[in-house]
Amino acid sequence: MSQSYQRFESVIDRIRAAAAAADRDPEEIRLLAVSKKHPLSAIRELHAAGVRSFGENYAAEALPKIEALSDLDLEWHYIGPVQSNKTRQLAEHFHWVESIDREKILRRLANQRPEHLPPLNCCIQVRIGDEATKSGASPELATELAAMAGGLPRLRLRGLMAIPPPSDDFDVQRGYFAQLKRLYDQLRSAGLALDTLSMGMSSDLEAAIHEGATLVRIGTALFGPRPA
């Protein structure tokens, strides 16, 4: 059994255990493998193990990977900060953009999504916790962006994403994720057809699942330490 497969099985076990503890169906929770800085061979190994969705943070690194792995049935998510001059590349080559945090980016992605492709799946990134330097819209702006995204035909609004401040305290982790879940529930109650709550990484996936995550973004626990 390869090390990649062992790591994959370990992560799946963690997801199942966290779902059971939260009285949730583990099938409701999708796994996104965060492959930034990792080689093509590692992505191929995880694909062989059963992983289909991969997340990248940098367009310049991701585009050659997408091309080199075009023989595989992969779903690509962009999860890094979005620069205005990169929106066309993202709109043309990714299936998802999870890190939209301002109107300009939202409209550029909608305008630049090719007509022959299905609408671009998108999430609004919300800044939770008191970290002024971290990307993400305020909850108030996120509400406005979500309403706006619903009216753009080349986009499909799927949900919300967040990267909370790091903490080793399970209850503190839960508190951050609960903030995002409340906003998600408010938007759904307002009539937006959201189905994705992207939150939780290698160090806090259990707390995220407890608070309702439907997609967890896992890097280190799947790939091992990131190459220097």
- Token duo for residue 99: 């890190």
Q: Tell whether 131 is covered by a domain.
A: yes
Whether residue 160 is contained in a domain is answered as yes
Name the residue range of residue 9's domain. Answer: 3-223
Domain for residue 202, yes or no?
Answer: yes
d(CA 172, CA 132): 19
Q: What is the pLDDT of residues 178-190, one digit of tens each?
A: 999 999 999 999 9
Q: Could you give the angle at which helices 40-49 and 3-21 cross, rounded to 10 degrees? A: 50
Could you tell me if residue 84 is left (phi over 0), alpha (psi between -120 and 50 degrees) or otherwise beta?
Answer: alpha
Residue 213's nearest CA partner among 168, 179, 167 is: 179
Predicted confidence at residue 1, as pLDDT, reads 54
CATH number at residue 59: 3.20.20.10
82: which DSSP letter?
A: P
Per-residue pLDDT of 146-169, as tens digits, reads: 999 988 999 999 999 999 999 999
pTM of the model: 0.96
Total domains in the chain come to 1
Assigned domain for 228 exists: no
